[in-house]
Structures are given as C-alpha cells and as structure tokens.
Amino acid sequence: MGHRARPGHRQAAGPADDDRCRGPADRPLQPAAMSGAAEPAVVATIDLAAIRHNVALLRQRAGGAAVMVVVKADGYGHGAAECARAALQAGAREVGVATIDEALALRRAGIRAPILAWLHASDAQFRAALEADIALGVSSLAQARAVRAIAATLGRPVRVDLKLDTGLARNGAQAEQWAPIMRELAAAEREGGLRVHGLFSHLARADEPLHPLIDEQAARFRQGVALARRLGLAPTANHLANSAAALTRPDLAFDLVRAGIASYGLSPIPQLGDLGLRPALSLGARIALTKRIGAGDGVSYGHAWTAERAGTVALVPMGYADGLPRALSGRFSVRIGGRRYPAVGRICMDQFLVDLGDNPDGIQAGETATLLGPSALDGTLQGWADELGTISYELATLLRGRTARAYAG
C-alpha cells in the first residue's frame, strides 16, 4: 500500500504530483477520518503486480511487436501515471493517451518513455506537446500543416504518427485525405526535424473476432502503409490492434499493439471466458453503522426493499456520487469476511445498505465490505457491466468523489 489520491481530484502541475504521497490533508473528509481513523472509508486499490502480469501476457501475445499501454481517462480510472510506470516496468515500450493534456500530465509525473496523444481539439497546444517530446497522432491535413510549421522552428526532433480512418469513421484521416497528408508530411521530413514514426488505425469490431470488417480494415491499413512508402515516407512503427485484436489476432500486431482495457485485467471480449488476465482494481468500503430492523420495515428511499424478517442491516458510506451506479440498486452483493451479503434498497448519493440477515458473524461498524475484488466471493466489474448492460470500460472510469485510491504490489 502506498500513496493515494482522489480520482475526482484534478491534480496540480509539476512537483505537486508528488504530494499525493502525503498524509491526511490530501484525503477525503469523511466521518471516519473526522473521528481520527487514518484510512478513508471507501478505497479503490489498484494491484500494480496485476498490471505487470497483464502487460507481460500482452507482450507474449504480441510476438515480436511492442506494446503501447493506453492510459487515457486517468488510466481507465486506475491512475494514469502509476499504471504507466508499472506497465513500462513490465516491458511496455510506449504510452498512449487521447489528449495532449493527459500526455503532459504524464511527463510532469516523470514518465520519460515515448508518449503518443491522438485526439486533438481545434485549438490543441501542439507546440507545448512537441516541446515536451510528446508524439502527436495526426488525423487531418490541417493538423499535419500545424505540426510541420512548428517542427520547422522547434530545434528538436518531432515524432508524428499518422492516423488513418480505415472504417471506424471516428478520429483518423479519411482515405481521400491520405495522399495529401502524406505529401505534406513527406515534405516536412525532407525539411528535417520531423519524422513519421508510424501509421495507425483503430478497429470498429475487434471484439467480434470473426467479423469480416476486421480483415477489411486491415487490408485498407496495409494499402495506407504502401501508399505512404510510395510517397516517400518510411514508417517503422505501424499499429492497428487494440486489446481485443492483440489477444485474438496476433497476425494484426504489425510493429506495436495499443492495449488499454486488457492492461487493467478486464476482458475486451468477455464471451471468450478466461484469457489469463488479472483485474487490477478492488473496491472496499468500511461499514459506518449496523442496525436492527423489524419484519416489514422498508429500507432506503422509496422503500424499494422491505425486510421479510427481523434482522440486521449494515450501512456502507458509498453512493452514486462516489461512482457506484444507482442502477445497480438491489442488483449486487458485497463480501464481508468470508460471506456474501446482498445490497438492498436504493443506492443513494452517499450510502447504501446491506442485508446481514441474522448477522451470523456478528459484523460490526468498521469492518470492510468488499464490492469488487479477486476472491471468488467478490463482485467483478464485468459482473456489474453484465448486470447493467454496459461494458467494463465504462464502469472502471466511473469511480470518483470520496473514493480514495491506494496502490498495492
């Protein structure tokens, strides 16, 4: 266990990042903290050993290709800098993020590995990025021209990865634009100071391993690489695969795979069953209060749950403001000690309740209710995602508010 930070807390620039190793002032204010307890009530624990394991597994699957660990959206809610560091220790070669702001935050946190940022607002700070040695994904002629103009004056090498839209119709340059952009970038290379390191593209249906669109996109991508070579570029780090493709289509690894979700131990294709990944995130909250209730007593807003028999309920101080989806009300369990108990009634902004029945183990305030974890009795993000009809990606990025973060492993 090490330092902790609030996922919802926007971190200040520079050395302030190190302040996250500090004590209670940085921690969320909660009843337990006010009573003098050292630990915050709700803690998401990230197992960095699990991240290293997952990255090692991805490297194995990628064969000769390198691994870029994707840590956009604060490392899928797991903490971008900490996860990037763990992944790099396990042999990832590069770090990928969506925005320049995310990339600059990683530089400030001391990450010195190559970082690629690929999603730019129209007023994105290309110069600041290039000065910080951030590689830029380029998706339009306007972006290529802007990078070329800066590269001409920067006095240090600039790395560009050209993003081709091969069928996702999201970010990336459309096919008609490929040749003009490549000519622009080839001219910039000849002027010196800029190098097109690789071409890349993103798959629309990689989570359906047998879907023909995957091969169609791969064919268009290969055409793009061939066109780039004809127009005088010599990209050596081409990349197409996300986690799903990295795990199921080693033939599409090219020079580099971009792995986000699998690095955190969550499956991009849950239907495939166990892929050997280890979820890094656990979530626990300390019980604030237990109380006896009588048969027929309603619990929480709307009395959505009513006790059939007299018994005990435990109050857990985590709610939707902390990232626990309200739609999970009455649809999940927690583990306390060696037993599972159902959460009952509505999830509120700050709290929810657990039915302890006759409370056979004599559970009391202060004990930890584990919502997510590695034991067979624990809930999983995938289980919650199935319950809610969404994907683990969305739930991993929800944790916020008073949820503190801790690192293990």
Residues of the shown chain interacting with ligand PLP in the complex, contacts defined by CB under 6 A: 70, 72, 118, 202, 242-244, 258-262, 268
CA distance 67 to 318: 36
Which tokens belong to 40? 């915050």
Q: How many CB atoms lie within 10 A of CB 65?
A: 22
Residue (272 or 295) nearer to ligand PLP, CB: 272
121 by Cβ neighbours in 10 Å (0-12 / 13-18 / 19+) ranks as exposed
Distance CA 392, CA 55 (A): 18
**Cα separation, 334 vs 357, whole angstroms:** 13
Q: Which residues are catalytic, by number?
A: 72, 301
φ and ψ at residue 114, rounded to 5 degrees: -60, 135
Compare residues 368 and 382 and give the one whose CB is closer to ligand PLP: 382
What's the rounded Cα separation, in Å, for the pair 143 and 154?
Answer: 16
**Quick one: which of 81, 63, 61, 73 has its CA closest to 16?**
81
For the bound state, the minimum distance from the C-beta of residue 301 to ligand PLP, rounded and expressed in Å, comes to: 35
- Closer to ligand PLP by CB, 52 or 72: give it: 72
Which residues are CB-contacts of 390 (< 8 A; sequence separation ≥ 6)?
A: none
What is the rounded distance in angstroms from the CA atom of residue 385 to the CA atom of residue 268? Answer: 12
DSSP conformation class of 379: B
Q: Whole-number minimum distance, CB 226 to ligand PLP, in Å? A: 21
| Alpha-carbon gap, residue 353 to 330, rounded angstroms | 9
Give whichever of 70 and 151 is closer to ligand PLP, judged by the CB atom.
Answer: 70
Whether 349 has a binding-site annotation, put simply, is yes
Residues 365, 289 contacting (CB under 8 angstroms)? yes
170 annotated ligand-binding residue:
yes
- Point out the residue whose Cβ comes nearest to ligand PLP: 260
CB of 38 to ligand PLP, least distance (A): 35
- Please name the residues in contact with 332: beta carbons below 8 A apart, sequence gap of 6 or more: 342, 343, 371, 379, 383, 384, 387
CB of 176 to ligand PLP, least distance (A): 21
> What is the enclosing helix (H) or strand (E) of 166?
none
Cβ-based nearer residue to ligand PLP, 195 or 202: 202
**Minimum distance from residue 72 beta carbon to ligand PLP (Å):** 6
- Residue closer to ligand PLP, measured from CB, 95 or 228: 95
189, 196 contact by CB (below 8 A): yes
Rounded to a whole number of angstroms, the minimum distance from the CB of residue 137 to ligand PLP is 8
Shortest Å, Cβ 69 to ligand PLP: 9
Category of 133 on φ-ψ map: left (φ > 0), alpha (ψ -120 to 50) or beta: left
The burial of 160, by beta-carbon neighbours within 10 Å (0-12 exposed, 13-18 middle, 19 or more buried), is given as: buried
Please, are residues 80 and 266 in contact by the beta-carbon 8 Å criterion? no
Instruction: Return the number of the residue (242 or 248) whose C-beta is nearest ligand PLP.
Output: 242
Query: What's the maximum distance between 2 C-alpha atoms anywhere in the chain?
Result: 81
Helix (H, G, I), strand (E, B) or coil at 119: coil
List residues forming the annotated binding site. Answer: 170, 349
List residues forming the annotated binding site for substrate. Answer: 170, 349
